[in-house]
Structure formats: C-alpha cells, structure tokens
Amino acid sequence: MEHLMAYIIGILFGSAVYMMLRRSIVKLVIGLMILSNAANLLIFTVAGMTRGAPPLIAEGALMPEGAVADPLPQALVLTAIVIAFGVLAFAVVLIHRAYEVVGNDDLDQMKDTDT
Amino acid sequence: MLFAVLSGFIVAALAPWLMGFLKDRIGWGLALLPAGLTLYFASFIPAVSGGEVVLQHWAWMPILDVHLSFMLDGLSLMFALLISFIGTFILIYAGAYLKGHEYLGRFYVIMLSFMASMLGLVLSNNLISLFVFWELTSVTSYLLIGFNHRDLDARKCALQGLFVTVAGGLALMAGLVMLGLVSGSFQISEVLVADGLLESPLITGIIICVLLGTFTKSAQFPFHFWLPNAMAAPTPVSAYLHSATMVKAGIYLMARLNPALGEHMLWTVLLCSAGGITMLLGVYLAYSATGVKKVLAYSTVMALGTLTMLIGIGTDYAMIAFASFLLGHSLYKGALFMIAGALDHETGTKDLTRMGGLRKAMPITATAALIAGLSLAGLPPLFGFIGKELMLEAVLSAEWQSSLLLVAAVLTASLGIAVAAAVAIKPFWGKVGDTPKKPHEAPVGMWLGPVVLAATSLLFGILPFLPEGWVVAAAVTSVKGQSVDFYLSLWHGINLPLILSGASLVAGAVLYALWGRTRAPLTMVNDVFSRVGPEVGYFRFMSAMTGFAAWQTRVLQNGVMGIYMIVLIMTTVVLAGYTLLSQYGLHLTLTGIGEVHFYEWAIALLMVMAAVYVIFTRSRLGAVATIGALGFSVALIFILFSAPDLGITQVLIETLTVILLVLVLFRLPGFSHYSSRFEIWRDGTVAVLFGGLMTLLMLGALDTRYFETISGFFVEASYPEAQGRNIVNVILVDFRALDTLGEIFVLAIAAMGVYSMLRLRAEVKDDRG
C-alpha cells in the first residue's frame, strides 16, 4: 500500500503546486489545502502503514499485545492537521481582506507593498 | 597595558555624562586621560630604550590562538607616545573648536574610542586582535569624517573612506590569516622570528594582501584619493586621524612586519614604487591646491609615501630616516592642522588665496605656524631638517632604483618647501587679505596644541639626542629587527644630502614665488587628470555596484509570487533530484501492490480524481466539494490504517474547512482565466516535476531504512510512565507536551490575526460611515 500511496501523493503534490501557481487567489488557497493533505499523508506513509492495529493499550495490560502502528508519525500528523487549519483560516481571511483592499483577485496585480 | 587600552573605551562611555559636569571645560577634563597615558607610556622609556620588549598577555579565545596580548617595543612605544601626546592637545583643541556644538558629547565618545582603538592597534601582539583594532579605527574614523551628518558631502566622503579602507581591510585579514598559518603562530613576536616564511609558496599572496590593506589605510597611490576627501571632518579629527594617527596605521603595520617580510624582493619593489609615486603625486597636488586643509592633506599623502618608500628601501639609513621622519612629521603636521583649523575658525575661510597679513591679529598662532612650517620645509634647526637629510641619505643608499628615487626625493623636497611656505607664511605675512570674518587671536585651547608641538619640533631639532635616546633608537631596532649604531645630529658636515637640500631650498623659493601665478594653469591640468584618475574608477565601481544591486532586485524581487515559487520549487527539484538520481538512481518500485484491498483502490482512485478534477473545474463550488472529498478520503485512509485519532481530527477539521470556504470564498469573485498558454505549460511542467520528485523521494525512503524507528520507547513507556492507554495522545500531551504548547500558540496567533483583520475592516467601514 505504501508504494501505491507514493504515486498518489506525488499526484497530490503536483496538483497542489499547479493550483498554487495560478494567478487567481482562490486557487492559491485550494492549492495550499491539497499541499497540507499531501504532506500529512507523506509523513503518515513513509513510517509504514499497518492495518487494524491502532496504538492503544488494552485495559489491564502494560503494553499493547503484538505489533501496533507507529504512534510517533501519528502524533506529528495530528499536530500538523490542526496547524494547517490555523494557517488556512488565516490565509482565507487574509486573501479576503487583500481582495477588498486591492479590488482584484489577480495575484500578479498584488505586487506593491503600498495600496 | 590592557587597562591603558580599555581606559579609552571606558572614558568614552562616560563622556556624555561628564559633559553635564564639565560643560565648556570638557576638553580640558578629558585631556587628562591621554596626558596620563603619555606619562604611563613614558615610564616605559628607560626599559624599552635599554632594549627590553615588554610583553603582556591575556587569553581571549585561546582555542583560536586569539589573545589580547600586548607588546611594547621601540616602534610601539613611539606610536603609543605620539597617539597619547598629540591626543592630549587634540582633545583640548576640540573643546575650543567645537565649543557649544550640540553633539560635542557624541564627538568625544567617538574620538576617545578611536584613540583607544589606535592604541590597541599599535600595542597588539596578536594578528587577529590587531585586525580587530584596525577595523575599529576604520569604523570610528567613518563616524568622525561623517560627524557633520547633515552635510551630504561629509556623508559621501565618510562612506568613501570607509569603503576604501574596509575593502583593504578584507584583503588584510586574508593576508594576516595566511601569515599566521604559514608562520605557525598568530603572535606577532613569534611571527617576526618564524623560519622559512619567505620560502613559503604563499608569500606572494601574503605580501599582496597585507599591502592592499596598508596601502588603502595609509592612502598610497592609487588609493590616495580618499584622504583629502576625509577633510570633510571637523579639523580636530583631520589633525588627529589624518595626520598623526590613523593613516599611519598602515605605515605602522608595514614597519612592524618589515623584519619578517623586508627581505623579499616584491616587498621592496612594491613599497619603493608605490611610496615614490605617492610622495611625488602628493606633493604636486599639495602645491596645486588652494584650500588650506587640502594642502595639508596632500602633504600628508606625500609624507606617507615617503615613509612607505623608506621602509621599502630597508637599509640602516632608511630605517633611521623612517623613525626620525615619522616623529618629525607627526609633530609638525598635527600642529599645522590645528593652525589650519584656527585660521578657518577665526577668518571664516579655508581659501589660502584670500588670507594674508594675519601675523598682527594672531601672533601666537603665527609663531607656531612659522616653526611648524620650517619643520615641514625641512630647514635647520628643526627636527624636520634631520628627518629630511636622513631621507635623502637613505635614498642615496637604496639598492633598488636609487637614482630614480633620488630624483623623486629632490623634486619632493623642492615642492615641499613651496608648500610649507604657502601654508605657514602666506596667511601670516604680506598684504592683509580679505576674509569673511574680522580675524583675532584664537582662544588658548586652540593655540596651546600647535605651540607645544611646534616647540617640541624645535627642542628635538636642537637637542636631537633626546628623541634618539628616548624612542628613535629603539624604534629603529624594532623596524630593522636588529640594533643599529647611529646618532642623530643637525650637522653632518658638507655632504651630498646637504648640497641637495640647499638646491631644493632655492628651487622651493622659486616655486613659492610662482605660487600665485601657477594657480590657474595647475587647476586646468588637475581638471583634466581628475577625469581619468583612480577616483573616477572608484565612482564607476560604486555606481556599477548599485546598478547591479538594483538590477538584481528587479529580477529576483519582482513582486510576482508565481515566479518566486517557481524559483524555489525548481531549485529544490534540481538540487534534490540531482542528488537523488546520482546517489540512489531511478527505482520505480511497486512492492506490495498486489496486497492492496479493492476498497483501498477505490479510495486511491477517488483521491486521484479529486486532485485532477480540481485543476480543470471552473466552478468554485465544485472545487470546494472536491477538496472536501479529498479530505474525507484522507480521513478514511487514516482510519483504515490504524490511526483513529487522526481520522476523527481530519473529519472535524475537514468539516470546519468546508464551512469556512463556503462562508468566505463565495464573497470573492469566481475563477477567472488569467494564464496564457505558455504559463499553463510552464506551471504544468513545474508541477509534474515536483510531483515526480516527491514520488521518487518517497519510494527511496520506503526502500531504504538506515536505522530502526524510535517509537518503541513511546509504546513501552506510555502506560508505565505516563499512565495513558492511547499512545498517540500520551505523546501529544506528555512526552512532547512542549510541541503541543507551541501548537496552541500558533493557533492563538492565527486567531488573533484573523480577529484583527476582521476588526480592521470594521473600523475602516466606520471611518467611511
């Protein structure tokens, strides 16, 4: 499954970059979202994917029985998902504000620091 | 000695505060420091003239062989005495010259820092700490030249001086580092006695780099142009930095390293030729100038050239001449600069052609000027005479191009006499000039320095065994690297130097008589040469550099975000891709593809479709829905592959995201088609390359494993140590709790950002309403 995911994640990255290079400001945000999904999946995948063995410890046991999925990348990705949402919320409000000020949604028109 | 050097910096820090107490007497008060230092250094005279070398050592960065270690031998002692002795009178003088200036406190801070740096420079026994002090003098001198910072010209000249000396400083640093490496020690006392230095393959590089540093600092041709421009500084600064001290730093370093490098032919040739040209050019320019400070500045260039040439000649006579000439020059040039400042102060003009007959109005200044001028001209019984006679003697003893140097030296002597007369006689004798201010005698603070320095010149000339026994003999020993038997005297009998002196005196008198009539033609000649001189090169270089910077900014910082991203992404793709392909190769593996369940295939297909559809759709709602589908597919992947917490979070966040997008994005305009066909292909290529790179990187990461995962620790320690059964949660809130705290901060900041942007809009609307 990991190898299949490698190809899919490559496609997601490509799609994200293409969207972020568009001049329309809304597409930039959409590209950003795909990018963060792709990055999360990347971290999740390269650590190895395990079916049906979540990193939980049963009641009364000191350790999980048998092998479980790697908890460390999961913890990292969990943080990343939340941060990505914070960034996205900020970006969405920012571009909305920028659009209001510049009066245009073309990124190429947003070249000056003075408006 | 550490305290002697540091005291300048300490008092500098206190100077503005002392201003409040001493008010107009600040100059006198602060002058106590250099006066005390003069006495302190003078207390070493018996030991040093007896041949002793005083070494003191404080480890600074021992691991790098960088120390605050000081060496006091004849050469250092002579410089240290000059710096503190002349410094005493300069500080008094500045108090009177800049009386009531609003930034007098700041002036003293920089001036004292400069003095301390200069002392550190001449006392350092470590190449690196010497370089640090060297740069400190450049920086403080920049601040002093640009002291009148509201004046555009002063700022430009200060910058020019800084650029030229600091560029040389860079070369010097390279030279000093090479020198330290080749000789195996950064301690100067050890470098001077290091074996095999001259046989090293790096020796040419060392000499060229060191000389680039010293030539720029000491205004040798072709870097001489910054020194006259530095006269934009207030006169006390010119008198101190640009006559007696800073410009002599390069001279000091050459003299200091002469025992180590002096035997090399390149050293001799470069020093003699640059010194000779500078000497002649300097005196010619001094003769042709009319501003009193410019005349003195060019005559300083002349003196610096002479000193460089003397080090280059390197014979016993040359070393004696070097030490005597240096001492003589510092005394009379310091005095003359202060007199120039007094003239400017009292008459309101710097133009020599407008001055005359000031002897009656300013008798004390006139007397000091006459004595200092005679010393500059090299006439008996002044100390300058001894220096000049020895200089001619030294040139006669030169082993390289003796006759050429002799011609230059005699020409210089003749023109020098005319220059001395122009500065010291022209303003005070003859017809009373027409000056903007009615002249009267300068205040005591302003004539004290010139009088003392001129009197010292006279005293040393009449009693030459005094300076000889005190410092000159010891200084000659330091520069030569061994002791030299000699005695200084005014009368050596009738010999070739004396005859040449006599001839140059006659020539000088003629040249002075022609002074008034030669102004116009010389100005014309100089105008022609100023169009091809090295200074033009400097301005060309500077404008080319700013032009290049502007062009580079236009190209790189063009304000188009797409271009920035393409540059960043393609740089990553090329560097990472090259490394990956060259180190690892291309491996498109498909391991385990057969074990993928059909529903996993379905999710994978869904994600690919979403990724592709979002590119081609022209509907905003379609795009947002597609993004939602992608996010929920990711959540499914998390859930299927043993990450329930991630799945839950992803579902929550994805829901919020879609709501947010629907709320905000639909206030924005719909998708427009901005890109040209070329841009679409270009961006598409970049995207495909980047996606491909990420796939290859992931495949590479999956197929190689250099070490075991560290997760075992968290799995084992989760319950026994942290009492938690959900290992992911335990990591987040316990083992890596600080990361989570950081995450909370990020969210809080993002929330504040969002809130403030919304508030801002509300306020703008209120304003409009």
For residue range B465-491, what is the model confidence (pLDDT) as tens digits? 888 888 888 888 888 878 777 777 777
CB contact at 8 A, B378 and B501: yes
Residue with tokens 């809304």: A26
pLDDT band per the 50, 70, 90 thresholds, residue B133:
very high
Q: Does B748 or B352 have the greater pLDDT score?
A: B748
Q: What's the rounded mean pLDDT across residues B516-533?
A: 80
Q: What's the rounded mean pLDDT across residues B672-693?
A: 89
- Partner-chain contact A10 B757, CB within 8 Å: no
* pLDDT given at position B517: 81
Q: What's the rounded mean pLDDT across residues B403-422?
A: 87
Task: Give the chain A residue nearest B720 (alpha carbons).
Answer: A62
* Cβ neighbourhood burial of B599 (10 Å; 0-12, 13-18, 19+): exposed
The partner residue sitting opposite A10, judged by closest CB among B692, B702, B750, is B692
pLDDT band per the 50, 70, 90 thresholds, residue B316:
confident
CB contact at 8 A, B72 and B80: yes
Highest mean pLDDT among B64-78, B166-180, B242-256, B521-535 belongs to B166-180
User: Which pairs count as long-range contacts for B410-414, CB under 8 Å and 24+ apart, including other chains?
Assistant: B410/B500, B410/B503, B410/B504, B411/B280, B411/B283, B412/B279, B412/B280, B412/B283, B412/B302, B412/B306, B413/B378, B413/B388, B413/B500, B413/B501, B413/B504, B413/B508, B414/B503, B414/B504, B414/B507, B414/B508, B414/B511
Q: What's the rounded mean pLDDT across residues B393-416?
A: 86
- Partner-chain contact A68 B715, CB within 8 Å: yes
* pLDDT given at position A114: 61
The partner residue sitting opposite A46, judged by closest CB among B590, B643, B701, is B701
Interface test with chain B among A23, A44, A88, by most B beta carbons within 10 Å: A23
> How far apart are alpha carbons B131 and B165 in whole angstroms?
12
pLDDT band per the 50, 70, 90 thresholds, residue B386:
confident
CA–CA min distance B542, chain A (Å): 28
Q: Does B649 or B445 have the greater pLDDT score?
A: B649
pLDDT band per the 50, 70, 90 thresholds, residue B769:
very low
Residue B338, pLDDT > 70, answer yes
Task: Give the chain B residue nearest A76 (alpha carbons).
Answer: B732
Task: Give contacts of A29 with chain B, Cβ < 8 Å.
Answer: 661, 665
Q: What's the rounded mean pLDDT across residues B58-84?
A: 87
Q: Using alpha carbons only, give the angle B655, B751, A13 rounded to the nearest 5 degrees.
A: 55
Tell me the Cα Rg of chain A. 20
- Partner-chain contact B695 A9, CB within 8 Å: yes
The size of the A-B interface in CB pairs under 8 A is 278
Task: Give contacts of B690 with chain A, Cβ < 8 Å.
Answer: 13-14, 17
Out of B313-327, B430-444, B679-693, pick the least confident: B430-444
* pLDDT given at position B637: 93
Task: Give contacts of B621 with chain A, Cβ < 8 Å.
Answer: none
Share of chain B above pLDDT 90, in %: 32
- Partner-chain contact B623 A62, CB within 8 Å: no
Q: What's the rounded mean pLDDT across residues B342-353?
A: 83
pLDDT band per the 50, 70, 90 thresholds, residue B83:
very high
Tell me the Cα Rg of chain B. 37
> Cα B691 vs. chain centroid, distance in angstroms?
47
- Partner-chain contact A1 B634, CB within 8 Å: no
CA–CA min distance A55, chain B (Å): 6
* pLDDT given at position A112: 67
Mean of pLDDT over chain A: 86
Q: How is residue B512 written in tokens?
A: 């002075």
CB contact at 8 A, B82 and B327: yes
- Partner-chain contact A38 B637, CB within 8 Å: no
CB contact at 8 A, A108 and B563: no
Task: Give contacts of B604 with chain A, Cβ < 8 Å.
Answer: 4-5, 8
- Residues B250-281 as b/e (b if ≥16 CB within 10 A, e otherwise) read bbbbbbbbbbbbbebeebbebbbbbbbbbbbb
> How far apart are alpha carbons B547 and B552 in whole angstroms?
9
The partner residue sitting opposite A106, judged by closest CB among B592, B624, B674, is B674
A49 interfacial to chain B (CB closer than 8 Å): yes
Window 57-76 of A: residues touching B by CB (8 A cutoff) are 57-59, 61-64, 68-72, 74-75
* Category of B184 on φ-ψ map: left (φ > 0), alpha (ψ -120 to 50) or beta: left
Interface test with chain B among A7, A36, A87, A113, by most B beta carbons within 10 Å: A7
Task: Give contacts of A75 with chain B, Cβ < 8 Å.
Answer: 728, 731-732, 736
> How far apart are alpha carbons B431 and B56 in whole angstroms?
57
- What DSSP designation does B665 have? H
The partner residue sitting opposite B746, judged by closest CB among A13, A56, A83, is A83
* pLDDT given at position B113: 93
CATH of A2-50+70-114, one of 3.30.1330.30, 1.10.287.3510, 2.60.40.10, 1.10.12.10: 1.10.287.3510
Residue B766, pLDDT > 80, answer no
Picking from B336, B271, B274, B348, the residue whose alpha carbon sits closest to that of residue B299 is B336
What is the amino acid identity at position B105? G
Residue ranges per structural domain of chain A: 2-50+70-114
ipTM comes to 0.94
Task: Give contacts of A3 with chain B, Cβ < 8 Å.
Answer: 589-593, 699, 702
- Partner-chain contact B695 A53, CB within 8 Å: no
What sign does the dihedral B20-B25-B27-B33 (CA atoms) show?
negative
Interface test with chain B among A12, A18, A50, A115, by most B beta carbons within 10 Å: A18
The partner residue sitting opposite B743, judged by closest CB among A62, A83, A110, is A83
pLDDT band per the 50, 70, 90 thresholds, residue B761:
low
- Residues B120-152 as b/e (b if ≥16 CB within 10 A, e otherwise) read bbbbbbbbbbbbbbbbbbbbbbbbbbbbbeeee
Residue with tokens 């070398």: B53
Interface test with chain A among B554, B561, B603, B612, by most A beta carbons within 10 Å: B561
Contacts of A43 (CB under 8 A, 6+ apart): A73, A76, A77, A80
* Cβ neighbourhood burial of A115 (10 Å; 0-12, 13-18, 19+): exposed
Q: What's the rounded mean pLDDT across residues B105-119?
A: 91
Q: Does B724 or B764 have the greater pLDDT score?
A: B724
> How far apart are alpha carbons B718 and B726 in whole angstroms?
8
Residue B669, pLDDT > 80, answer no
Task: Give contacts of A70 with chain B, Cβ < 8 Å.
Answer: 709, 711
Task: Give the chain A residue nearest B760 (alpha carbons).
Answer: A97
Report residues of chain A scoring pLDDT below 50: none
Q: What's the rounded mean pLDDT across residues B560-565?
A: 86
Picking from B521, B329, B476, the residue whose alpha carbon sits closest to that of residue B412 is B329
Interface test with chain B among A12, A28, A30, A50, by most B beta carbons within 10 Å: A30
Mean of pLDDT over chain B: 87
> How far apart are alpha carbons B767 and B769 in whole angstroms?
5
Going from the C-alpha of A21 to that of each of A28, A32, B562, B761, the distances in angstroms are 7, 10, 5, 28
Residue B768, pLDDT > 60, answer no
Residue B577, pLDDT > 90, answer yes
Window 93-112 of A: residues touching B by CB (8 A cutoff) are 93-97, 99-100, 105-108, 110-112
Interface test with chain A among B614, B707, B729, B745, by most A beta carbons within 10 Å: B614
Residue B712, pLDDT > 80, answer yes
Task: Give contacts of A6 with chain B, Cβ < 8 Å.
Answer: 695, 698-699, 702
Q: What's the rounded mean pLDDT across residues B429-440?
A: 77
> How far apart are alpha carbons B480 and B5 in whole angstroms?
26
Share of chain B above pLDDT 70, in %: 99
